[in-house]
A and B are shown apart, each in its own frame.
Chain A
Amino acid sequence: MLEAVHLTKRYASLPAVQDLSFSLRPGQVLGCLGPNGSGKSTTVKMLTGLLQPTRGVVQFDGHNIQDDLMAYRKRLGYVPEEPHLYPYLTGWEYLELIGTLRGMPRPDLEKKIDSLLELFSLHPNRHASIGSYSKGMRQRILLIAAIMDDPEIFIFDEPLSGLDVTSALIFKNLVQALGRQGKLVFYCSHVLEVVEKVCSDVLILRKGVVIAQDSVTNIGQILGQSLENTFLHLVDDVDTMTVARDIVSVMQMKAA
């Protein structure tokens, strides 16, 4: 089980995340929602061990992940928000590099890379440099890199960004399948429909604080609305229709 216990992160004196606690059980797919600046990325970075919390701990199976970060990362698959890849490596070379650095056995690694590239429709482009890949192709490379070592914990930060419809559908089904396999999945996204579809539970953040945490069904029932409306109600006190109308009137504004 992965647990965040009273996590707090401050940058200088500015709090990015405050007293965040939740747990993620095997088989659970926990969605994390929040507007820009709500602390989602900071939370993800603390869960991956990239950031040290100012206060609180992240525990995996009862142990602080910082005690043996290498062992924890061996069991972690992470898809970051931005696809920072080495543009001069080919897709195959990148995956082979990641597999080697993860200590995967060689014959197994090559077979897995080829099969996954085939399944993600990247096999024909495996020897093209990543610099020539589209955003969706890069994203698929990141997904393969995260799953190919069969980790126990998955942390996905906006994993659908740039994916085409088919790849997005495959990925949504994959997340659900991973949940059924007993894996722990932490899923950060702006796309509410996807979170509603693939996640069993949801965590809503606002200004670094948890404002709601429950199963997707229960959260909707609280206000008797869809997840989208519930989210808007909880997070943004904004009349979206009025803002849209204002934007159109500014667009049409002419200099006097």
Chain B
Amino acid sequence: MITQAADVIFRVWDDHRQRPFWRMVQLFVARIFRGGGDSDADGLDLGIGLVLTLLALPGAFVSLFLMDKYGSLLQWLRGITHVDTLAIVLPDEYFFIVLSMTVTGAVAVWRWDAIFPDRRDYMNLVPLPISTRSIFFANLVAVFFLVGLIACDVNAASCILFPTVVTASQSEFIFFVKFAVIHAVGVLLASVFAFFAVFLALGVLMAVLPPRALQRASAYVRGLVVVYLVGLLCTTFAVPDLLRQAGGHVPSWTALMPSTWFLGLCQSLRARADPVLTALSARVFPGVAAVVWLALCAYAVGYRRHFVRIAEIADTTVIARTPALSNRRWRMGILLDRVALRTPFQQGGFRFICKTMVRSEAHRLVLTGVGGLALVLASQAMLDAFEGARSWRAAALSPDALSIPFILSFLIIVGLRLVFEVPVELRSNWIFQLMLDSNGQECERLAQRVILILVLPGLAAITLPVYAYLENWRVACLHTLLVVTWSVLLTNIVLTRFRKLPFTCTLPLFKQHSFVIMLAFCFGFLIYAVSTPEFESLALLEPVRMLSFVPVAAVAWSIPHFLAKSAIDLDKKLIFEESPTQTIEALRLSD
């Protein structure tokens, strides 16, 4: 009986699945995951399973880290015998809401080009006997399906693990159920809101702008969204305290931080909300409904304006650059060639790298994310420096203020190094394979020059005049010299054994030593951007102390050089393909 019923259900589902509309839905779901755009670009092609696993990981890890806070045994060992779980959970609940919004929003930004049907869909589907209305609705169903899938996936681990961790010390099962359901409602709604907010931004751009302007504006808007999400994540630890200190009035900034609304909802459902959180919770349902409704309207208008007219757009869009701008860039290029880029390879390579970073959306997004993080951390440092400082002068010599250029340079250098690994249009790298001498070893020097040209003038332009104005020329020169030296050393370290032309080499999804590298960067950040400014702050009071940086710099200089010298010839060759390291490798002695 059960088998028969299962057979019938399976048959009905199979019939349904084969209908044109549902085939299109499947196609759009696959397209949104596997990439849109007009080209068959070789980017990072992650499988659907892997993407979903990666999205679920942050929630799982954070929940597990919280065991330390909520574990009853650990609390007892610390001498804490009575804990009001629902009171101490507020900052963590807020963190999960923000995490859910950030990850979902980031997915929407990442798949920005694939959410709407594109020219490939147009060329494949429109000549078939299918109405454009069917295509519209099929894509809409695919979008809804994906929002549901991503919201569930991103929050799945936190919806189970976080309530388990928090309520582990509670004896009643119903407490766990209530807590889990309320948490799930909060984070799922936050995810849906974040996705549709990004969708709305894209839809509005499509509805309002002509195709050429859309292409340019969408890059900036995506960058802004990334910066906003990074900002949201970085302010997670401050917001719950600010809400507690609000004194009964809803702060105006909460209008720009919808994450606080969902926190209000969770606390209201648990009957633990103060008047501020209660007022914030009232914004949730109108807010979500408005965003979803507006996103759908914008999608409909954008679809009509862009998709239905793709054939006309394709025939008329020719992007021309203004000659004045090209002339200025040309003159700047000649100056750089004379000063810093000596060989034809460096001159050509520099232009290729800069143009790729400026024009490739994936690279721009990574750089915007890193830049956003750098700005948020730098502004935090600036706030800390000026908080309670007696004067501007005193603040300028504090470790927090001195750390600003170090934070910026560290994140930009590491960000650039990271971006160099991301491949672009691998099928086009044949020209480099054909023309470059694989034993030439010029790529490391080229990458080094690109980073230094992009980083050093900007840093010097900030530190030198600011410190000359606030302090004096001596302090300004010493500080700038230290920042520049540290930047050069860091660049050398991150480019150790770099033997690729940026963007032209395949990138394996996982390297065995990825985790070690990540830890090394975190540790490096602490030394570079926290310890160095602290020591510098003391050294600037007595400049002779600055000499103590010399041996550190000498060691940091010699390590990459030693590693480069000790490398065998095979490890110095230019590569265009990097395969993941095998756990077990055959010796192939018979080959």
Chain A interface residues toward B at CB < 8 A: 11-12, 16, 41-42, 45, 48-51, 69-71, 73-74, 76, 78, 80, 82, 84-89, 97-98, 100-103, 106, 131
Contact = CB atoms under 8 A, between A and B. Distances in A.
Count chain A CB atoms within 10 A of each CB in B19, B127, B316 and give the residue with the most: B127
B24 A106 contact: no
15 contacts: A11-B316, A49-B127, A51-B311, A69-B131, A70-B130, A71-B129, A73-B129, A74-B129, A84-B119, A86-B30, A86-B31, A100-B18, A101-B23, A101-B125, A103-B20
Interface string B113-155: 0000001101111111111000000000000000000000000
B315 A131 contact: no
Given A86-B27, A97-B23, A73 B315 contact: no
A85 B35 CA distance: 12
A-B pairs, top 9 by smallest CB distance, nearest first, are A74-B129, A84-B120, A87-B40, A50-B311, A84-B123, A73-B129, A88-B34, A78-B127, A11-B316
B315 A70 contact: no
Contacts of B130: 70, 101
Contacts of A101: 20, 23-24, 125, 128-130
B542 interface: no
A103 B311 contact: no
A70 B315 CA distance: 24
B306 to A, nearest CB: 14
A71 to B, nearest CB: 7
A106 B18 CA distance: 9
Interface of B: 18-20, 23-24, 27, 30-31, 34-35, 38, 40, 45, 119-120, 122-131, 311-312, 315-316
Contacts of A73: 127-129
A243 B285 CA distance: 70
B37 to A, nearest CB: 11
Nearest to B127: A78
Main SS class of interface, A = mixed
A70 B312 contact: no
Given A45-B311, A84-B124, 15 more contacts: A11-B316, A41-B315, A51-B311, A71-B129, A80-B127, A86-B31, A86-B120, A88-B35, A97-B27, A100-B20, A100-B23, A101-B128, A101-B129, A102-B128, A102-B129
Nearest to A130: B40
Main SS class of interface, B = helix
A103 B40 contact: no
Nearest to B26: A97
A42 B129 contact: no
A71 B128 CA distance: 10
B20 A70 contact: no
A89 B130 CA distance: 20
A41 B312 CA distance: 11
A76 B129 CA distance: 9
Contacts of A78: 127
B124 A86 contact: yes
Contacts of B128: 73, 98, 101-102
A91 to B, nearest CB: 14
Nearest to A76: B127
B123 A42 contact: no
Given A86-B120, A100-B18, A100-B20, A131 B127 contact: no
Nearest to B427: A131
B127 A50 contact: yes
A85 B120 contact: yes
Contacts of A97: 23, 27
B312 A51 contact: yes
A23 B315 CA distance: 25
Nearest to A46: B311
Contacts of A45: 311, 315
B38 A84 contact: yes
Contacts of B30: 86, 88-89
A82 B127 CA distance: 14
A108 B439 CA distance: 57
A246 B130 CA distance: 51
A11 B31 contact: no
A97 B20 CA distance: 8
Contact of A70 (B23, B40, B129): B129
B39 to A, nearest CB: 9
Contacts of A11: 312, 315-316
A156 to B, nearest CB: 12
Contacts of A50: 122, 126-127, 311
